[in-house]
Amino acid sequence: VQKRRIYDITNVLEGIGLIEKQLKNRIRWK
């Protein structure tokens, strides 16, 4: 169970990183 919890946390962090990259790209286009 502990390993899966760590896996979920890493997935969430990766998702946040992708969203931040998309936001930065959008600001650049403006």
Using CA atoms, how far apart are residues 23 and 30, in angstroms rounded to an integer? 11
pLDDT at res. 27: 83
pLDDT at res. 17: 97
pLDDT at res. 2: 87
pLDDT at res. 29: 73
SS (H, E, C) 2-15: HHHHHHHHHHHHHH
User: pTM surpassing 0.85?
Assistant: no
pLDDT at res. 20: 95
Using CA atoms, how far apart are residues 25 and 11, in angstroms rounded to an integer? 21
Instruction: Dump pLDDT digits (tens) for 1-30.
Output: 788 999 999 999 999 999 999 999 888 876
Using CA atoms, how far apart are residues 7 and 19, in angstroms rounded to an integer? 19
